Amino acid sequence: VYVIADTSCGPGDAERFGEILLRFARASRSEPGCLDYGVFRSVEQPERYLSVEKYADSPAFEAHRDSPHFRDIGMAELLPLATARDVRVFTDPKTVPPRS
């Protein structure tokens, strides 16, 4: 299960938002079912962040959403700073071979 969470915050909150998001990423990486949690920032819109997450399966993603850090950091600290949020879940990634 791949998850792309696209979140924007107010311009004045961008640095602080990134710091909280990194803390959330570290906590999420400690979940047994979380295989990867990368934090990326838009080059053109510095108040926009992308979390790129990989979970072992759907129950592992549910466990992430039921975790204490999801509640205490995600819901309590990040969500109030978010001005826009779009979360997409993908389950059928295909690797594209390079052009030769």
Smallest distance from its own copies to CB 79, Å:
8
Q: Between residue 51 and residue 80, which ones bind its own copies under the rule CB under 8 A? A: 52, 65, 70, 75
Greatest Cα pair distance, the chain, in angstroms, is 48
Cβ 5 to its own copies shortest distance, Å? 8
CB-based contact 61:36 (threshold 8 Å): no
Contact 78, 17 (CB under 8 A): yes
Give me the least distance between CB of 12 and its own copies, in Å please. Answer: 18
CB atoms within 10 A of CB 42: 12
Q: Which residues contact residue 22 at a Cβ distance below 8 angstroms, ignoring those fewer than 6 apart?
A: 39
Please identify, using beta-carbon distances, which residue of 10 and 29 lies nearer to its own copies. 29
- In three-state secondary structure terms, 62 is helix
32 binds its own copies (CB under 8 A): no
**Positions in the binding site for its own copies (CB under 8 A):** 2-4, 18, 21-22, 38-44, 49-50, 52, 65, 70, 75, 85-96, 98-99
